[in-house]
Amino acid sequence: MVKLIDIAKVMFSLVLFVSTARAQSIFNVTKDGAKANGPNINVALTSTWKKACASARLSNVLIPKRIFSLSPVTLEGPCKATIEVQVQGTLRALSGTGKTTEDGD
């Protein structure tokens, strides 16, 4: 009897995990105009962030497997739900786009 209860708990946990994983919205920066090996993606990233921020569901901002240029950008909230930023590609910092000190501030 104990084994059946343990198996039932495990099955319930797996179903809950799968349901939770599917309830996430994915926002890809390329759908908002980000171009690989092109000009910086600040406008596309900011637009993608705003869409994810407005979503009431867990969101994932995706930067896919490519090389993208980026200058300093501020992504602001508060947002309606948690946002995860997933960088699969490479972000190349643009030189001379901002004033920083040696410690990065």
Q: What is the DSSP string of 22-69?
A: HT-EEEEGGGGT--TTSS--HHHHHHHHHHHHH-SS-EEEEE-SSEEE
Asked, for residue 5, whether it belongs to a domain, the answer is no
Q: What angle do CA 63, 27, 37 make, to 5 degrees?
A: 30
Read off the pLDDT of each residue in 80-97 and give the average, rounded to a whole number.
90
pLDDT band, very low/low/confident/very high, at 22 (cuts 50, 70, 90): low
Domain range for 52: 25-93
Asked, for residue 40, whether it belongs to a domain, the answer is yes
Give this prediction's pTM: 0.70
Read off the pLDDT of each residue in 33-44 and give the average, rounded to a whole number.
95
Mean pLDDT, rounded, of the chain? 81
Read off the pLDDT of each residue in 22-29 and give the average, rounded to a whole number.
88
The larger pLDDT score, comparing residue 100 to residue 58, is at 58
Asked, for residue 38, whether it belongs to a domain, the answer is yes
Asked, for residue 9, whether it belongs to a domain, the answer is no
